[in-house]
Amino acid sequence: MLDPKYNERIGQIFARYPDKRSAVMPMLYVAQEQYGWVSPEAIADVADVCEMDPTQVTSIAGFYTMFRETPKGKFWLQVCTDLPCALKGADQFYEGLLKLVGLDHHHDTTEDGLFTVEHVTCLAACDKAPMLQCNFHFHESLDLEKMKALIDSWRAEASSGTLTEAQGLP
Amino acid sequence: MQHILLRNRETPDIGKFDVYVQNGGYEGLRKALDMTPDAVTGQVKDSNLRGRGGAGFPTGMKWSFVPKVEGPKYVAVNADESEPGTFKDREILEKNPHALIEGALICAYAIQATAVYIYCRGEFWDLAHNIEAEIEKARTAGWVGNRIAGKDWSCEVYVHLGAGAYICGEESALLNSLEGKLGQPRVRPPFPAVAGLYARPTVINNVETLANVPFIMVNGAAEFKKIGTEKSPGTKVFCMSGHVANPGNYELPLGTTFRDLIYTHAGGIANGKKLKAILPSGASGPLLAATDKVLDTPLTYEDVAALGSVLGSASVIMLDEDTDMVWATQRMAYFFRHESCGKCTPCREGTYWLEKKMNSIIDKKATATDIKILEDVAVQMQGKSLCALGDFATSPIVSSLKLFRNEYEAYVEPPAKPAAKAPAAKPAARAAAPVAAGGD
Ligand SMILES: Cc1cc2nc3c(=O)[nH]c(=O)nc-3n(C[C@H](O)[C@H](O)[C@H](O)COP(=O)(O)O)c2cc1C
Ligand code: SF4
Ligand code: FES
């Protein structure tokens, strides 16, 4: 069941549309926030409130890149490696980032569960390449040195238990 | 030049409701509300404003297609901005959102719409929440909601967040996505003006298109037409990316030449390199070689079309002399395979084969026959798909084969034979990241 703490938000979402089905994407964001990913329970909850078939909700969740079909690290890093960013060294940045967090393969999560690293297509920030999105917040005009500082600060946040960047997670 | 769209460049706080109003904000809507809806559409028609989302369709004409029927009607704002190299709508949404909100409300009044949905790409999470807050301020001031400005017309404005799918920028896919269906294009007719969102009359316009409308209402069509060219009036936000010295958005009159845009405004090519080629419309339009003829071409819908390319959303990607064109094209082939929605066979299968062939060429596992097959598949796909993505996917391939075929040939020739022109240095072979090892 979706947590009652979301009731007000859910009410506001439904008020925007003439039917319940149109709320499926915003509801998937709510459920993803609660469960951390669009787990089978999340799908069932959304299907329930939107009065839809769970298989339809599953196919919608699978259609979009921002719904987490599998659990991800606390810091879900999506690096843009589309052409304009790649022309500015995004591939090398991406490789360097994998090394920084200690991953061999992309789309993997570190053993401590902190970092998932993926590449994505254009995020409308091509003038500030290389860039990435961490839990849906942009970090732009990066290089590996700045990235290392960010990783260090995120690791510190994680060990002190104050996950600011991970909060407000869609 | 004064900015019309990027007014935040002169007034950094214009994104805040109070500051927007202090600087003449909502005067365009006030004027519109004192006119008949038809007169508003007429003024936009007279201005010759053309859609900034890619196709350049005349905006006033689009509004005039909406039938005068009772019941709900909608404006859907296309804020899905996902074309590689495009980041103009984002600056407007982030820094000057009321220009869009006001423009969308003027459109809504003209077609007597009952609600505006701003379909924002999901990655614009932070700025979408800011826009919601700004809409509330406009509501408090009486510009949104019931009986706007005391008139007999009510209209809501909502933000809807997408969740990462390029195809949802295609207008009929956007409507399906808003309705909670899979974000795949619809078969047309019916056209959205007649049966769009919830099968009701709907106008879909791009963010930048609508952000022009307050200026047109306040200053009149004639003032607007003084800027730009006869067939392409107004300014345009050009998104400069790739190997350019000063990447970013540049709002300039339509009709500015490529040369002026690149060398006068954007500082030329980075690191003193020579310009080799230009993608004037992101990944979706044909490549242009950087010849004098191209550089002296004015950036208008008609002049870029005459060169065999498109102005599109004006996401101008610069490629310098060291760029390996086969590598760059492969990256675009990856993009289209990844973003094809899979609804129709020519595009679903075609984008798969195009990427596969590009990969085999770049991995030096291909022969001259594969280049021929690549070209055949691309040509065969053209005009056969349900939406324009199927054609977009072919344009980087067909155009790079036309202009830089020697670079393809250098990849497939046996190493002993001297290549016509060796492929230029490139950033890490076939970018281990995006294409290797699956995962998506
Ligand atoms: C695959 C595809 C992607 C598109 N993406 C966008 C987009 O991100 N933003 C946009 O405004 N238009 C996009 N369009 C164009 C829209 O379909 C539509 O023409 C446009 O929103 C109309 O607005 P306008 O008349 O104001 O330009 C796309 C079209 C296609 C075929
Ligand atoms: S052309 Fe491609 S993106 Fe468009 S409907 Fe067909 S499969 Fe989908
Ligand atoms: S290509 Fe990376 S943000 Fe556009």
pLDDT tens-place string over residues A137-170: 999 999 999 999 999 999 998 888 776 654 444 4
* Nearest-CB residue to B87 (from A81, A91, A125): A125
CA of A166 to the centre of ligand 2 (A): 35
Is A21's CB within 8 Å of B181's CB?
A: yes
Kindly report, residue by residue over B431-440, the tens digit of the pLDDT.
444 443 334 5
Is B427's CB within 8 Å of A94's CB?
A: no
| pLDDT tens-digit profile, chain A (170 residues) | 999 999 999 999 999 999 999 999 999 999 999 999 999 999 999 999 999 999 999 999 999 999 999 999 999 999 999 999 999 999 999 999 999 999 987 778 999 999 999 999 999 999 999 999 999 899 999 999 999 999 999 999 888 877 665 444 44
CA B413 to chain centre: 38
Between CA A160 and CA A158 the distance in angstroms is 6
Residue A139 tokens read as 């970090």
For every residue of B192-213, DSSP letters joined together read HHHH-GGGS-EEEEEHHHHHTH
Mutational test site, ligand 1, from B171, B209, B232, B281, max ligand atoms within 8 Å of CB: B171
Task: Return the DSSP state at B419.
Answer: P
Question: Which residues from B are below 8 Å from A97, CB to CB?
Answer: none
Kindly report, residue by residue over B191-212, the tens digit of the pLDDT.
999 999 999 999 999 999 999 9
* Site residues for ligand 3, CB cut-off 6 Å: A 80, 82, 84-85, 122-126, 129, 131; B 84
Is B317's CB within 8 Å of A138's CB?
A: no
Residue B217 tokens read as 């209402």
pTM, full prediction = 0.94
Sign of CA dihedral B379, B305, B48, B33: positive
Check CB contact of A67 with chain B, cutoff 8 Å. yes
Residue B87 tokens read as 């980041």
Is A105's CB within 8 Å of B437's CB?
A: yes
A160 or B334, which is more confident? B334
Which are the contacts of B48, defined by CB distance < 8 A and separation ≥ 6? B58, B221, B224, B225, B230, B231, B233
The answer to whether B329 and B397 are in contact (CB under 8 A) is yes
Mutational test site, ligand 3, from A79, A85, A127, max ligand atoms within 8 Å of CB: A85
Check CB contact of B183 with chain A, cutoff 8 Å. yes
Q: Is pLDDT at B420 greater than 90 in this prediction?
A: no
Between CA B251 and CA B261 the distance in angstroms is 10
Find, among B112, B107, B92, B83, the residue nearest to B279 by Cα: B83
Residue B369 tokens read as 């026959």
| Share above pLDDT 70 across residues of chain B, in percent, rounded to a whole number | 94
The pLDDT, as a whole number, for residue B183 is: 96
Chain B neighbours among A 27-46 (CB < 8 Å)?
A: 28-29
Q: Is pLDDT at B163 greater than 80 in this prediction?
A: yes
* B187: exposed, middle or buried (Cβ count in 10 Å: 0-12, 13-18, 19+): exposed
Is B165's CB within 8 Å of A124's CB?
A: no
Kindly report, residue by residue over B57-94, the tens digit of the pLDDT.
999 999 999 999 999 999 999 999 999 999 999 999 99
The pLDDT, as a whole number, for residue B296 is: 98
Q: How confident is the model at residue B423 (pLDDT cuts 50, 70, 90)?
A: low
Is A64's CB within 8 Å of B82's CB?
A: no
* Nearest-CB residue to A84 (from B84, B122, B125): B84
Angle, alpha carbons B284-B243-B265 (nearest 5°): 95
The pLDDT, as a whole number, for residue B433 is: 45
Q: CB neighbours (10 Å) of residue B13?
A: 12
Side chain identity at residue B383, one-letter code:
G
* Site residues for ligand 2, CB cut-off 6 Å: B 167, 184-185, 340-344, 347-348, 385-387, 389-390
Which are the contacts of B322, defined by CB distance < 8 A and separation ≥ 6? B273, B424, B425, B426
B247 or B439, which is more confident? B247
Question: Which residues from A are below 8 Å from B178, CB to CB?
Answer: 22
For ligand 1, say whether the CB of B303 is within 6 Å of any of its atoms: no
